[in-house]
Structure 1
Amino acid sequence: MLNICIVAGARPNFIKVAPLVRIIIKAKAEGRAVDYHLVYTGAENDPTLESSLFEDLGIPHPDVFLGVDCVNLNELTGRVMSEFEKYLDANRTDVVIVVDDLASTMAVAIVAKKHGLTLAHLVAGTRSFDINMPKEINRLVIDGLSDLLFTAGIGSTSTATREGAELANVYMVGNILMDTLRFNRSRLVRPSLFDTLQLKEHDYIVFTLNRKALLADRDNLGRMLTSLCRAAGDVKIIAPLRNGAEEVVLPLVKDFDNFIIVKPLSYLEFGYLTANAKGIVTDSGNVAEEATFNGVPCITLNSYTEHIETVKCGSNVLVGEDAGKLADAVSDMVMGRWKQCSLPDRWDGRTAERILQILFNIK
């Protein structure tokens, strides 16, 4: 029996591991000798995990909640290490799969290796090449400890091998987010706000914002939002913002009728909103990847992206934190002047299938 522990440290992680959970459940039902636990490092009452999330993703709720909830990253790392060690002591585990680059992800990786378990990193080889970013340190540590590095593309594979990972341990399995998007393509839900706001498909811009550095510089954020609203003209800007971001953004857009802040949507509703937009302005790498999959023009409020394929062949452009560049890009978006884009290699929806087969082969 292959016992797999899949660990999620935040809401976006569930979106990426959902295909793995589904394919393991399917394999088990077909008589394969495999089982899993889905572990969440946070609390069961985490407000970011809306009640519909797991139903939307087509997976059961987590089997275990470690219950760690704190702001200080060093404290969080220590507490996750302690709680995950208790989990491993009580549950037979052969493979631990971690995803992305959170402090909790790094904590789990350290404990798994101290227990002598096979550690697999999903979305390995991702780099910003800015060592001042806490997440960059997490990535280096997790990749350095991992026995199996599952990368999304050629660039990530090159990074992992260049930094010393053995080529035999690096697998370009593809972008697992595409498994989720393909699974949900026919399940998306049209939000009621289309009726209340009289929205029409492909005639609005979606705006998302979460990055702390952007929110902290309110003067520059104000300039960027002013540029965005003016360049959009009569096109409505729909902004599903969580409380912290809403508090910062609201006073900066009070003079613009075309900027509309709405409450966060369910996963399937947000998927419909972005898939049918005229364009997207975001600071999220995942949202930019989804935009490329859907062929929707996307502007990322950053000077770099860990998902460079969304720029090289996808629908994404980078404007940094420059209000002038943002205005020019939004004008192009509104006028329909956008680059041709295509899907990167192995965005085929079979990533989870490849990963499970690799795990069977090595065990």
Structure 2
Amino acid sequence: MPTFTIVAGARPNFMKIAPIIHQLQKRQAEDTAIKFRLIHTGQHYDKKMSGDFFEQLDIPEPHANLGGGGGTQAEQTASIMVSFEKELMENPTDLVLVVGDVTSTLACSITAKKLCIDVAHVEGGIRSGDLTMPEEINRMVTDSITDHFFTTSEIANENLRKSGFSEDKIHFVGNTMIDTLMAQMPRFQKPEGEIFDSLEPKKYFVMTMHRPANVDQEQKLKAMIDAILEGTQGLPIIFPVHPRTAKNLQAIGIAADNLLMCEPLGYLEFNYLVKNAKGVITDSGGITEEASVMNIPCITLRDNTERPETIDLGTNELVGTNPEKLKPYLDKIMKNDWKQYQGIPLWDGKTSERIIDILISTYSK
């Protein structure tokens, strides 16, 4: 009977593992001989960044929580590796499945391979080319020791081929984030709170910012917010504020009647806002995927992206980190003159089924 260990640690991971866990549970209910353990590394440990997602996405309680949150990236990586090694030695497995590009992904991949355990990487092969991003380092190191790549696009497949990986390791399956989006869309719910009561569909923006290039330099952050406020012409801007951003916003004293800052939101509430927004302004990769599939105009405040398919076939535009370049893009959204979602291959809500089919076929031999 094949045994799999599924790893998640940070908010972006939970949307990616949920449909995989549900598919494993479904196969078990159908009497497929398969076992799995779900391991939460504890990288994100507060309720809004972790607990709420488990509840809303119906993810079962993890079999173990490694408590690896806090500290520098090196401290976090080391803590997770020490705890995960003990987990694997006490609970042998045929495969460790990691998702995305967070610290937990890197730490658990290295630990597994040093114990001669196969690694599968969901979302393997994506690249931004920007080595200043910790996520890019995580992707590159994880992929260098991965046995099975579950990819989201032909672009990711080609990246892996160029790196010398053989076709039998590359499995083009689609995007588990979109499995979750499609499954949960009927359950989206309006957030509770006074600032959300007066919002009208297609008459507000949703914004997220957390990357150092945008939020760590106070004057640049102020210039970016000012440009956004000007370009959105007084429409409300819902801004769930990442802790690092909140500290810097406080220091520069940013305030405007239509800039509505709030705590981080749960999955169902945040995506309710995105689905009904006039546009999204973000520096997050995952949000560009969700906005594209929901056909919502999306502006990315970065100089590169590891998800070019959201630009080629989605609703995303890569604007950069220069505030002066924002205006023409915001003008297009305000005039309802934005490109439409073209459909991205295999982003159809069935990715997790394909992943589990491949794993069962490979490890039941």
TM-score, length-normalised on structure 2? 0.95
2:308 alignment partner AA: I
1:123 alignment partner AA: E
| Contact 1:224 1:322 survives alignment (8 Å) | yes
Q: 1:170-198: per-residue Cα shift (whole Å, max 9, x none)?
A: 01111111100011011111223477541
Matched with 1:77 is 77
| Contact 2:228 2:326 survives alignment (8 Å) | yes
Task: State the shift of 1:48 in Å.
Answer: 4.3
SS in 2 for 1:121: strand
The CA distance in 1 between the partners of 2:138 and 2:44, in whole Å, is 24
Matched with 1:260 is 260
Matches within 5 A, 1:109-188: 109-188=109-188
Matched with 2:87 is 87
Matched with 2:54 is 54
| Contact 2:15 2:176 survives alignment (8 Å) | no
Matched with 1:244 is 244
Q: Percent identity?
A: 37
Using the TM superposition, name which of 252-261 and 96-105 deviates more.
252-261
CA, structure 1 residues 288+102, in 2 after alignment: closer, same or farther (shift >3 Å)? Answer: same
Using the TM superposition, name which of 273-282 and 258-267 deviates more.
258-267
Matched with 1:309 is 309
The CA distance in 2 between the partners of 1:127 and 1:193, in whole Å, is 38
Using the TM superposition, name which of 14-23 and 123-132 deviates more.
123-132
SS in 1 for 2:121: strand
Q: 1:220-262: per-residue Cα shift (whole Å, max 9, x none)?
A: 1111111110111121111111333123235657452211112
Using the TM superposition, name which of 10-19 and 319-328 deviates more.
319-328
Task: State the shift of 1:128 in Å.
Answer: 1.3
User: Does residue 357 of the first structure (1) align with residue 357 of the second (2)?
Assistant: yes
| Contact 1:85 1:111 survives alignment (8 Å) | yes
The CA distance in 1 between the partners of 2:27 and 2:275, in whole Å, is 31
CA, structure 1 residues 138+255, in 2 after alignment: closer, same or farther (shift >3 Å)? Answer: closer
User: Does residue 101 of the first structure (1) align with residue 93 of the second (2)?
Assistant: no
2:297 alignment partner AA: P
The CA distance in 1 between the partners of 2:328 and 2:43, in whole Å, is 43
CA, structure 1 residues 193+202, in 2 after alignment: closer, same or farther (shift >3 Å)? Answer: farther
Q: Which runs of 5+ in 2 are unaligned?
A: none
| Contact 2:205 2:237 survives alignment (8 Å) | yes
Using the TM superposition, name which of 75-84 and 230-239 deviates more.
75-84
SS in 2 for 1:6: strand
Using the TM superposition, name which of 319-328 and 175-184 deviates more.
319-328
Matched with 1:329 is 329
| Contact 2:191 2:269 survives alignment (8 Å) | yes
1:206 alignment partner AA: V
The CA distance in 2 between the partners of 1:270 and 1:176, in whole Å, is 18
The CA distance in 1 between the partners of 2:109 and 2:95, in whole Å, is 11
SS in 1 for 2:187: coil
Matches within 5 A, 1:153-302: 153-193=153-193, 197-250=197-250, 252=252, 254-302=254-302
The CA distance in 1 between the partners of 2:190 and 2:255, in whole Å, is 29
Task: State the shift of 1:92 in Å.
Answer: 2.4
CA, structure 1 residues 334+194, in 2 after alignment: closer, same or farther (shift >3 Å)? Answer: farther
The CA distance in 1 between the partners of 2:143 and 2:335, in whole Å, is 43
CA, structure 1 residues 50+361, in 2 after alignment: closer, same or farther (shift >3 Å)? Answer: closer
Using the TM superposition, name which of 89-98 and 74-83 deviates more.
74-83
Task: State the shift of 1:132 in Å.
Answer: 3.7
Matched with 1:342 is 342
The CA distance in 1 between the partners of 2:358 and 2:136, in whole Å, is 27
CA, structure 1 residues 7+196, in 2 after alignment: closer, same or farther (shift >3 Å)? Answer: closer
Q: Which runs of 5+ in 1 are unaligned?
A: none
The CA distance in 2 between the partners of 1:196 and 1:271, in whole Å, is 13
CA, structure 1 residues 134+234, in 2 after alignment: closer, same or farther (shift >3 Å)? Answer: closer
| Contact 2:21 2:59 survives alignment (8 Å) | yes
Q: 1:40-74: per-residue Cα shift (whole Å, max 9, x none)?
A: 11169534435432121122122211111233222
Using the TM superposition, name which of 323-332 and 249-258 deviates more.
249-258
Task: State the shift of 1:105 in Å.
Answer: 1.5
CA, structure 1 residues 146+189, in 2 after alignment: closer, same or farther (shift >3 Å)? Answer: same
| Contact 1:109 1:142 survives alignment (8 Å) | yes
